[in-house]
Amino acid sequence: VKYSVIIPVYNEQEALELTYRELKKLAENFDGGYEIIFVDDGSSDNSLNILKDFAKADKSVKIISFSRNFGHQAAISAGMEHAQGEALIIMDADLQDPPETVLKMIQKWREGYDIVYGKRVKRKGERPFKKLTAYVYYRLLSRITGINIPKDAGDFRLISRKAAQAIISLPEKNRYLRGLNAWVGFKQAEIEYERDPRAAGETKYTLKKMLKLAGDGVISNTNFPLTAMFGFGIVLSLLSFLGFFALAVLAFAGISFDPAFWLLPAVALCSGLIITGLGLIGMYLGRVYDEVKNRPLYIINEKINF
Ligand code: UDP
Ligand code: MG
C-alpha cells in the first residue's frame, strides 16, 4: 500500500459512519493503494462494533483495538507502528480535519517533504476557552522549549515512511507527538486549513487529558522548569550581599536601626543558596531524564557513497 490513514477512535459512534464515508471519498483520489487503520482506544460505546462492520465489508479497513483507554497519543503511536504505507496520514475521527486538505499534503509529500502538518488558521465551533488556552499554550511552548514546534498545529499531518520510522524509534513513554515530529527534523512543510466543528458527538478531550498533554508538551521537550530556579537563586544570593552592605554602611554612619533588620539579608542569603542548590539538582535531574528518554544521538537523513 502507498497510503496509510490512521484514525484514533474513542467513543465516536455518532461520527464514524460519516467519517468512513468521507474517507472512502477521499481515497478515490489517491494515486495508489491504501489502508485505513482505525485504532479503537478502549471505547465503551458501540464504536468497535461499527468499525468491525466496516472491516467485514472492506478489506482496506484495519482495526487495532486497545484493552482500555490509553489516550490519543498512544493510539496514534500504535497506528504508526502498524502502518505499512509509504505515507502515513493521521486524522481525527470527528472530521474536524477536512479530508480535502489531505490531497494538498500528498502534493507536498510528492515535492519531497517528509512531514506535512496542518496549521489551523481558524477553529470553528470550539469554545472560546479552548481557543484562548490553545493560542497561549502554543506560543509559550515554542518560546521555552527552543524546539521549533509549529504553532497551532495538531496531530493532523502526513508523515513519510522515513520520518515515521524515526519517530517510532524514540522509546519514550510520555509521548507528545507534535514535539517528537519537530525533534526528528527532516523537511517539514505546513498546509493551512480551517478547522471544522465536530461532525457529531462531544469532544473526548477532558480538561484532565488536555492538561496532561500540555504538561507532556513542556516537560518532554525542555528541562527549563527544572533548571530555571538556578539563576534566580544566584541572583537572590547576590542581592543579599547588597542588603548586608547597605546595613553596614548605615551602621558605620552611626544611623541606628533595629538589629532585627540584619535578618533580612540573612534570610535572603539562605533562601538564595537553597534555591541555587535546588536548581543544581534540577540540572542533574534533567540530564538523568534526557538519558532515560534514551533518544538517539542523531537521526540520519541519507548516506551517500557508503
Ligand atoms: N481520542 C482518543 N483517545 C482519547 C481521546 C480522544 O483516541 O482518550 C481521539 C478521538 O476519538 C478523536 C481524536 O482523538 O479522533 C481527537 O479527540 P477530540 O476530537 O475529542 O479532541 P478535540 O478535537 O476536541 O481537541
Ligand atoms: Mg476533535
Give, using CA atoms, the residue closest to atom 19 of ligand 1: 203
pLDDT of residue 7: 97
**Nearest ligand (C-alpha, residue 155):** 1
pLDDT tens, 116-156?
A: 999 988 777 778 888 888 888 888 888 888 788 888 888 99
Q: Give the mean model confidence (pLDDT) for residues 244-265.
A: 90
SS percent in the chain: helix, strand, coil, step 5: 50, 15, 35
Write down the residue that cell numbers 499534503 correspond to. Answer: 105
- Phi, psi dihedrals of residue 172, rounded to the nearest 5°: -65, 155
pLDDT of residue 10: 95
3-state class (DSSP) for residue 11? coil
Mutate to test the pocket of ligand 1, among 23, 72, 77 (most ligand atoms within 8 A of CB): 72
Among the atoms of ligand 1, which is closest to the Cα of residue 126? 24
Q: How far is C-alpha 226 from the geometric centre of its chain's CA atoms?
A: 19
**Angstrom distance (rounded) from CA 224 to CA 283:** 9
Give, using CA atoms, the residue closest to atom 14 of ligand 1: 72
Q: Give the mean model confidence (pLDDT) for residues 37-66.
A: 95
50 pLDDT more than 90: yes
- Phi, psi dihedrals of residue 142, rounded to the nearest 5°: -70, -30
For every residue of 251-302, DSSP letters joined together read HHTT----GGGGHHHHHHHHHHHHHHHHHHHHHHHHHHHHHHHT--S---S-
Band (pLDDT 50/70/90 cuts) for residue 234 is very high
pLDDT of residue 133: 85
**Angstrom distance (rounded) from CA 159 to CA 86:** 9
**Nearest ligand (C-alpha, residue 45):** 1
Among the atoms of ligand 1, which is closest to the Cα of residue 42? 3
pLDDT of residue 152: 84
Q: Strand 34-40: give its sheet, edge to edge.
A: 61-65, 34-40, 3-9, 87-90, 153-160, 115-123, 188-195
pLDDT tens, 76-120?
A: 999 999 999 999 999 999 989 898 899 999 999 999 999 999 998
pLDDT tens, 196-231?
A: 888 888 888 888 888 888 888 888 888 888 888 999
Q: Give the mean model confidence (pLDDT) for residues 281-291.
A: 93
36 pLDDT more than 90: yes
Tell me the average pLDDT of the chain: 91
Q: Where does 161-235 show beta strands of DSSP type E?
A: 188-195
